[in-house]
Amino acid sequence: MKRILINGGYIENNQYNYYIQDHLGNNRAVATSNGTVIRQNHYYPFGASFADGLNKDKDAYKYNGKEQDRMHGLDWYDYAARHMSPAVPRFTTVDPLAEKYYSISPYAYCANNPIKFIDPTGMAPVYNEKGELIGTTEDGLQGDAIFMNSKNFTQGMSNKDASKHNIGIDALGEKARESYQTSFDGLKDRPDYDGYLTPKEAEAWYREGGGQPLYVDVSKINLGGAWASYFKIGEEKGYNFFLMSPKNYDTARVYGTLAITLLDDNGTASIVPSRYRDSGQIDDYNFDQHPGQPLRNLQTRAASKYAGAGTGYNIYGYGTAKLSTDKWYNPLRILSPY
């Protein structure tokens, strides 16, 4: 194995290297962990390379952070749902939702305005054949929809893998299309549309969401207080934010206890409990009492007074969590059961 990809960079020859991006998400430089710049890239507006950067051809991930496919010298960028040719510049296939944008060419990239717009996800919310929202890809709810059979779906899956199973909107019947359109048009009004859930939003959804699940970007969850030094790589432990990090009020109010598994020395972590690994669920938002957990039950009863009457729901995640790698260590920590 030559290279291990990580969030924001990669590991090569036992060295961490990090991407430095501009406002459009273009990888303009690569720096080592000690700050030495080892690569530079420069782009025309639609992604074609220009000028002589430093080792500019050594990295596959460049414009918009997308992988450049150099097969046959085409140098297309892989946007998961489609490929884009910077030489034309156009997408190589028709927009699967072209009927929603009659005034724009179905091959156009970012409405022909790459200075103002980007296409970071290609596709994100996922719907089944009935037009029902069944989850998200690795990039959440913001993006064009993708349609697939539920048996092929895994919560938080990559856009590239999801696009392989895309059956397209034409596979949906009339009622399914209506169901999809109603759901898709309402995504922007959901509390999880930005990938972050506040205590007030979580409580309001408990009262008004009817038990429907929410989807959050785990990289946006404040895990302050849960230091990487608390955990051993590969070992799953429950971390009670009420007990251990009371100043981290929002996370304590929304999630209470999270199951955390440290994945590497860089602080990369999973917060999906092993019992939910197949579904991608990170938590269930309710106020049930658990036998043998008096402290948790006390916290739950107190929190329920804020939320009022409602219906519990599941919270699913996408993306990767990050723990602080500060060496500080608290010998009096309490890791609660979950």
Residue 332 lies in a domain: no
Q: Are residues 222 and 309 in the same domain?
A: yes
CATH number, position 250: 3.30.450
Distance between CA atoms of residues 166 and 237, nearest Å? 36
Q: Are residues 183 and 207 in the same domain?
A: no
Instruction: Name beta bridge partners: 259.
Output: 238
Q: Are residues 158 and 98 in the same domain?
A: no
Checking if the pLDDT of 334 tops 70, the result is no
pLDDT tens per residue across span 18-29 = 999 888 888 888
Q: What are the CA-CA distances from residue 290 to residues 216, 245, 287, 300 (Å)? A: 25, 21, 9, 10
Q: Are residues 41 and 132 in the same domain?
A: no
Instruction: Name beta bridge partners: 9.
Output: 6, 18
Q: Are residues 163 and 256 in the same domain?
A: no
How many structural domains does the chain have? 3
Q: Are residues 137 and 87 in the same domain?
A: no
Domain extent for 164: 123-188
pLDDT tens per residue across span 297-316 = 677 776 777 777 889 999 99
Select from 61, 78, 112 the last residue of a domain. 112
Residue 118 lies in a domain: no
Residue 308 lies in a domain: yes
Q: Are residues 229 and 260 in the same domain?
A: yes
Residue type, 149: N
pLDDT tens per residue across span 248-266 = 888 988 998 899 999 998 8
Asked if 164 and 206 count as a contact pair (C-beta separation under 8 A), the reply is: no
Q: Are residues 133 and 45 in the same domain?
A: no
Residue 92 lies in a domain: yes
Widest pairwise Cα distance in the chain: 66
Q: Are residues 82 and 174 in the same domain?
A: no
Select from 161, 188, 215 the last residue of a domain. 188
The larger pLDDT score, comparing residue 247 to residue 250, is at: 250
Cβ neighbors of 223 (< 8 A, separation 6 or more) are: 248, 251, 258, 260, 269, 271, 321, 322, 323, 324
94: exposed, middle or buried (C-beta count within 10 Å: 0-12, 13-18, 19+)?
exposed
Residue type, 32: T
- Short-list 206, 239, 202, 201, CA closest to 223: 239
Percent of the chain whose predicted confidence (pLDDT) is above 70? 86
Mapping DSSP onto H, E and C, the string for 53-106 reads: CCCCCCCCECHHHCEEECHHHCCEEECCCCEEECCCCEECCCCCCHHHCCCCCC
Q: What is the DSSP string of 314-328?
A: EEEEES-EE------
pLDDT tens per residue across span 118-139 = 765 556 899 999 999 999 998 8
